[in-house]
Amino acid sequence: MSEDDIIGYVDPLVSSPGQKPAVKVSCTRDTFTSQVFRLGAGFKHPDGPPVSHRRVEAIPQQTHQGKPQFGRIGSFARVQSWGDTLLERAESVSISFWCLPTLPERAKHDQFLFSSLDDGGGTGFECFLDKAGQLRLRVGGSNAVQEINLSMRLLRNRWYHLLLRIWSTSGIVTLKAEAKARDIGELAEIFEESHSLGQPVRIISHMPLTIGGNSHACRPSTKPIGSGSFNGKVDGFKVETRSGAGHISTLLDLDFSLDISTDKVRDLSGNEHHGELINGPSRAVTGHNWDASQSAWTHATYGYGAIHFHDDDLDDAMWETTFLLELPSALLSGCYGIIVHDGVSTDFIPFFVRPDPNAKHIPPVALIIPTFTYAAYANEHLHDESREVHFPGDPEKKDKYFQTLMRRPDLGVSLYDSHNDGSGTVFSSLKRPVLNMRPDYSMWLFDGPREFSADLWFVDFLDRELGAEGYDVITDHDISEYGAPMLKKYRVLLSCSHPEYPTYGMLDSYAAFLGNGGHFMYLGGNGYYWVTSHDPGRSHRIEVRRAEAGCRTFGLPPGNWHHSLSGGLGGLWRSRGRPPNQLFGVGSCAMGVGKGAGYGINDEARSSEQLSFMFRGLESEVIIGDFGLVQGAASGDEIDRMDYTLGTPKNAIMIATTKLAGGHSDEYMLFNEETLYPMVKLHGTTSDKIRSDIVYFETPSKGAVFSAGSINWVGALAWKGFDNNVARMTANVLHEFVRRSRCR
């Protein structure tokens, strides 16, 4: 793929039958065609099932006009209407705020602290850091824009209070700045300078005021457009005017410590000049006066008045709608994709259809698609060695999707990437093309499918075992929005391979499902791991804050661990007292990129009459899953084990474990939350904690849980077209759970 190749996304990602989601496509050719398919296996492997997408005949093939589309990345605040008559009558205007630059010299573009300058430069003013990190001011003039190079230089990660004053008649500009000491070895400093433009300037503005950026251009664009966003924090923002008689009036007084869970910024001047945030900058971050006396913004009375802007933030690509997709009212729930083809290039744009809420027939089984995991990993750049956070990569594994991401920075980054300024990401959005959410995606680290492309094997498996109408497909988004009442409709739930990102409400919904006698098959690994926040009102966005523990590519600094959307403490659910072991019997413990391992069957489990259903057709098997389409075995990538000290139910039974099949190599290593002093026995051959366990337990309400303990279980499930012992065990459990549900 290249910058010219066709790509797109569907908004919203999840719809109901009969709805009309918007399809947004970027195409540089004159026309393209679209066809809709119900997705099955999409990754080609000589030992795997064939590609099995099925055309949706009820939606005809269509031809559309092509148009290239590019979004503007970078976050900022915008006050739409603010330049009232006070500016027109003012002798001078003063702008004051705190700021902390996080990338003053390496952004490769101008970084705007604020801007109200009109497109022609005739009115308004703006202040920015140029590509060299020089602080500059522009003011509108009667003949042309007037520009001043300010002598003060802003240093990285240092707080400054800036007070700029502009006199309209004389053209005099003054700057007074206070620089806080960054540490005990540094002194606070005061800077002052004055400049004369030698002519009157026009401070009145009819443009929106932007803070942390200067985006006045229309969005989207048919050509790539750069970011003008500031990398750093801004704490408070005040604009005052002074009349010729010396009367001072407050035109704008933005307090960013208010409405933190929203995209709104509130004006306290009394003029109702409230603003909005664009592209999801980070809120609930420490400000200039944070002193560590309080680490939760929800309890603090000061210290959280800052917003952290980034030049690569992206909340909404804002592409124009190319066409509306009319979903038939009788469409089955499931994973779907639109093949768009322009004669030269092709894209497979995924979307999901939830069950019809008014359906008369509800099957007993539902497959849960982990759309929050897909959002977390969306367009990850960990293979990009030019970034501060990255893995050493194999150039031969950098596929077509990688190439497009390198050419299209407007597609944004993931929750695994640092921002360009080195700070950690906290938001991820699905209002953009997500190129690693494609049926044929191969994950560069494992040279095989991961997340969405792997989970489609579950669809094939369930079609084979139950038929397309024998189960429903629901998503993380659905559970977050509709909760326990939705799950109550079903008797058997199946996870996919990597359900890593649940909200508190989702965990409550799973607990209620199990408490009501539900049966759950957790068929993945590293599940239910990170604290996640989701606002159904902004359903495209999730929030995750990497705190003091967990398998993570970066950690946020203290004081920044509480979510802005929910106010809850971020990090691991384990650290919040809700380890996955409590609900599912196992919890994540280790990861490795080398060859995986099979499972050795526990003889006590095999001889148990209670568990005989699980071993039908497997009576002679000693080891299962010593094969697989990813890493060569059923246990690999991120793996889970049972642990009674972490909440595994006391009646849980270990069905099989990798330790009885030789275990994992030293390419597997414990997660840091698993280690205490002395830090020894951290690798696969030396640690008893590094293993995958297959676990089963029953609940007092006559439900049950079966957990596989590995992301790569699905890769073994699909081996040889589902003709193997992993598929047999999974099918045995599935059919037993369905049988029990029909007996109730």
| Domain map (residue ranges) of the chain | 7-70+321-353, 76-309, 365-587+641-654+694-743
User: What's the confidence (pLDDT) of residue 83?
Assistant: 74
Percent of the chain with pLDDT over 70: 98
Say if residue 194's pLDDT is above 90. Answer: yes
Give 522's strand partners. 707
Residues forming beta bridges with residue 26, ordered by sequence position: 7
> With b meaning 16 or more CB within 10 Å and e meaning fewer, what string describes 533-552?
bbbeebbbbbbbbbbeebbb
Mean pLDDT for the stretch of residues 13-31: 98
Confidence of residue 2 (pLDDT cuts 50, 70, 90): low
CATH superfamily of 7-70+321-353: Macroglobulin (MG2) domain (2.60.40.1930)
The pLDDT value given to residue 81? 86
Q: Is the dihedral of CA 353, 355, 361, 364 positive or negative?
A: positive
446 Rama class: left (phi>0) / alpha (psi -120 to 50) / beta: alpha
pLDDT average, residue stretch 221-240: 94
Q: Hey, what amino acid is at 619?
A: E
Q: What is the pLDDT of residues 271-317, one digit of tens each?
A: 999 999 999 999 999 999 999 999 999 999 999 999 999 999 999 99
194-199 contacts, C-beta under 8 A, 24 or more apart = 195/148, 195/150, 196/170, 196/171, 196/172, 197/139, 197/141, 197/146, 197/148, 197/171, 197/172, 197/173, 198/171, 199/141, 199/142, 199/146, 199/171
In the prediction, which pLDDT does 363 show?
97
Is the pLDDT at 742 greater than 60? The verdict is: yes
Residues 639 and 715: their CA atoms lie apart, in Å, by: 14
Cα Dmax for the chain: 97
Contact (Cβ atoms closer than 8 angstroms) between residue 408 and residue 315: no
Mean pLDDT for all residues in the chain: 94
Confidence band (pLDDT; 50, 70, 90) for 397? low
Strands 248-255 and 111-115: unpaired
The model's pLDDT over 624-678, given as tens digits with 9 standing for 90+, comes to 999 999 999 999 999 999 999 999 999 999 999 999 999 999 999 999 999 988 8
Characterize 663-672 residue by residue with b for buried, 16 or more Cβ atoms within 10 angstroms of its Cβ, and e for exposed.
bbeebbbbbe
Query: How much is the pTM?
Result: 0.97
Is 76-309 in CATH node 2.60.120.200? Answer: yes
Residue with tokens 């997709």: 325
- The amino acid present at 29, given as its one-letter code, is R
Which pLDDT belongs to residue 550? 87
Task: Find the mean pLDDT for residues 467-490.
Answer: 97
DSSP designation for 396 = G
DSSP code, position 344 = S
In angstroms, rounded to a whole number, what is the distance separating the alpha carbons of residues 374 and 498?
9
DSSP string for residues in 152-177: EEPPTT--EEEEEEEETTT-EEEEEE
| pLDDT tens readout for residues 312-364 | 999 999 999 999 999 999 999 999 999 999 999 999 999 999 999 989 899 99
- Residues 670 and 596: their CA atoms lie apart, in Å, by 15
Tell me the pLDDT band of 4, cut-offs 50, 70 and 90: confident
Contact (CB, 8 A) for 310 and 75:
yes
Residue 394 confidence class, pLDDT cut points 50, 70, 90: low
